[in-house]
């Protein structure tokens, strides 16, 4: 073998050795990183119906997998989640809709000796989906006022008073656009099952009482009085989209006023790339901002909470399902092309009563509805 050949062979062997050493060290570092991070295991979560489409989204699944935080979720009613709080048998996280359910879970966790960290990456105000002719009638009767082009604020005290007085649409001033004998009522889902209807009960109780109800002596008679606002509606759907589906599919004839989450009409507008020309949003003044509360039990769930709060791609996906996030600009940027007019900042906001009182008020309404 020539001297030149020997040199070339030596260089090839050295290159091969260096490559083998590099990949060996790389593999060792990857293994060490795997050990440091721990094995990738699915986080078990219990979620509200509101966020089920978000977690089913393939884009969300990929982002969570890329961040070593894949999840497996089960949908449970928000009010039922407190029953899942059992020491030693907890999911990694719970994601209920509304602070009333979240506070109930927190109370159960405290009693069980379980530490829970809370955050709220998504939220949506409670609104009334309506129609331009209806909004103009309410304005003419001093129950609403324009907040901007095709956006209205509703005086909940005056509207609730009119409903309790059993006013009919045809009796209202300038009602020729909706001259019907139907009672003025806001349609809701079933308060015995639905979080949105519970928020409606909280809002109307504030409207009548003039403040948040804080004692049982006030709460029970007030709920009993407000029960007729549910009874007189007739049949009510017990799931979140039932009332909204009637608004979209049947229209003004059946649903002149529908109490919904804002995200429902926003998501519809984003999906359809627009809304009907007469569809408008009425913002109760005051209203309740419904928070979807992320409740982390395990350390990995806390990492997921952080990811939901800071990852812009996840935030954009949440907005695509109609939710508001910390960055209001993301929300407004997404909604503007649809033509749906929304209030940029919600300033008149109240909290619902404590969860114990809300439970008693709901029971009082349920009792009246069976009589």
Backbone angles phi, psi at 368, to 5 degrees: -65, -35
pLDDT greater than 70 at residue 50: yes
304-350: pLDDT as tens digits: 999 999 999 999 999 999 999 999 999 999 999 999 999 999 999 99
**Per DSSP, which regions of the chain are E strands?**
43-47, 71-75, 93-95, 117-131, 144-148, 151-155, 258-261, 279-285, 289-296
- Would you state the pLDDT for residue 121? 97
Burial 263-297, CB ≥16 within 10 A → b, else e: bbbbbbbbeeeebeeebbbbbbbbbbbbbbbbbbb
Residue predicted with more confidence, 37 or 367: 367
Q: What residues form DSSP beta bridges with 324?
A: 123
Q: pLDDT band at 31, cuts 50/70/90?
A: very low
Q: Residue 366 has which token pair?
A: 């349920």
Residue entry with tokens 């949440």: 318
Q: Does 115 have pLDDT greater than 50?
A: yes
- 201 to each of 76, 188, 227, 320, how far by Cα in Å? 22, 10, 9, 29
Please tell me whether residue 86 adopts helix, strand or coil conformation.
Answer: coil
For the chain, give the number of residues.
371
Identify the band that residue 370 occupies on the pLDDT scale cut at 50, 70 and 90. Answer: confident
pTM comes to 0.88
Total Cβ atoms within 10 A of residue 134: 24
Share of the chain above pLDDT 90, in %: 81
35-66 core/surface letters (b: 16 or more CB in 10 A; e: else):
eeeeeeeebbbbbbebbeebbebeebeebbee
Band (pLDDT 50/70/90 cuts) for residue 32 is: very low
> CA 250, 254, 256, 261: dihedral to nearest 10 degrees?
-60
For the chain, the average pLDDT equals: 90
Burial status of residue 226 (CB atoms within 10 A of its CB: 0-12, 13-18, 19 or more): buried
Indicate whether 27 pLDDT > 60.
no
180: Cβ contacts below 8 Å, ≥ 6 apart: 168, 169, 170
**Residue 30: how many CB atoms within 10 A of its CB?**
10
Distances (CA, A) of 44 to 61, 213, 298, 300, 301: 14, 36, 10, 10, 9
With DSSP H G I counted as helix, E B as strand and the rest as coil, what are the percentages for the chain, rounded to 5? Answer: 50, 15, 30
Write down all domains in the chain, each with its CATH number in brackets.
Answer: 43-121+291-337 (3.40.190.10), 125-290+342-369 (3.40.190.10)
What's the pLDDT score for residue 21? 44
Rounded mean pLDDT, 88-108? 94
Residue-wise pLDDT tens digits, 220-250:
999 999 999 999 998 776 667 788 999 999 9
pLDDT at 336: 95
Residue 370 or residue 102, greater confidence: 102
CA of residue 308 relative to chain centroid, distance: 14
Averaged pLDDT, 89-93: 95
How confident is residue 35, by pLDDT bands cut at 50, 70 and 90?
A: very low
Share of the chain above pLDDT 70, in %: 89
Token pair 């290159």 in the structure block, residue: 15
pLDDT of residue 193: 85
Rounded average pLDDT over 363-369: 94
In sequence order, what are the beta bridge partners of 151? 148, 281
- pLDDT tens-digit profile of 184-194? 999 999 998 88
- What are the CA-CA distances from residue 232 to residues 29, 183, 368 (Å)? 68, 9, 11
């Amino acid at each position: 073998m020539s001297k030149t050949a020997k040199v070339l062979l030596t260089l090839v062997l050295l290159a091969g050795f260096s490559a083998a050493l590099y990949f060996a060290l790389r593999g060792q570092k990857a293994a060490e990183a795997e050990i440091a991070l721990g094995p990738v295991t699915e986080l078990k979560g219990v979620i509200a119906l509101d966020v089920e489409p978000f977690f089913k989204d393939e884009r969300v699944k990929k982002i969570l997998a890329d961040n070593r935080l894949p999840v497996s979720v089960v949908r449970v009613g928000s009010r039922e989640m407190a029953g899942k709080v059992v020491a030693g048998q907890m999911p990694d996280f719970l994601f209920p809709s509304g602070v009333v359910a979240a506070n109930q879970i927190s109370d159960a966790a405290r009693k069980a000796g379980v530490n829970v960290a809370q955050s709220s990456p998504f939220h949506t105000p409670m609104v009334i989906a309506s129609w331009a002719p209806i909004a103009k009638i309410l304005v003419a009767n001093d129950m609403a006022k324009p907040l901007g082009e095709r956006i209205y604020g509703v005086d909940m005290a005056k509207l609730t008073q009119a409903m309790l007085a059993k006013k009919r649409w045809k009796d209202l001033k300038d009602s020729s656009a909706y001259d019907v004998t139907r009672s003025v009522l806001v349609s809701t889902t079933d308060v015995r099952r639905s979080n949105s209807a519970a928020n409606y009960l909280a809002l109307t109780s504030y409207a009548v009482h003039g403040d948040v109800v804080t004692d049982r002596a006030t709460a029970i008679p007030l709920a009993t009085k407000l029960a007729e606002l549910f009874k007189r509606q007739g049949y009510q759907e017990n799931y979140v989209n039932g009332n909204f589906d009637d608004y979209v599919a049947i229209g003004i004839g059946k649903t002149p006023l529908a109490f919904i989450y804002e995200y429902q009409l926003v998501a519809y507008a984003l999906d359809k790339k627009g809304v009907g020309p007469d569809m408008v949003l009425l913002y109760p003044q005051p209203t309740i901002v419904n928070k979807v509360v992320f409740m982390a039990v395990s350390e990995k769930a806390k990492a997921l909470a952080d990811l939901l709060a800071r990852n812009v791609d996840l935030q954009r996906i949440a907005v695509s399902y109609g939710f508001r996030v910390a960055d209001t600009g993301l929300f407004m940027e997404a909604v503007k092309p649809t033509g749906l007019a929304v209030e940029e900042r919600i300033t008149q906001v109240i909290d619902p009563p404590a969860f114990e009182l809300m439970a008693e008020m709901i029971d009082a309404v349920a009792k009246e509805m069976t009589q």
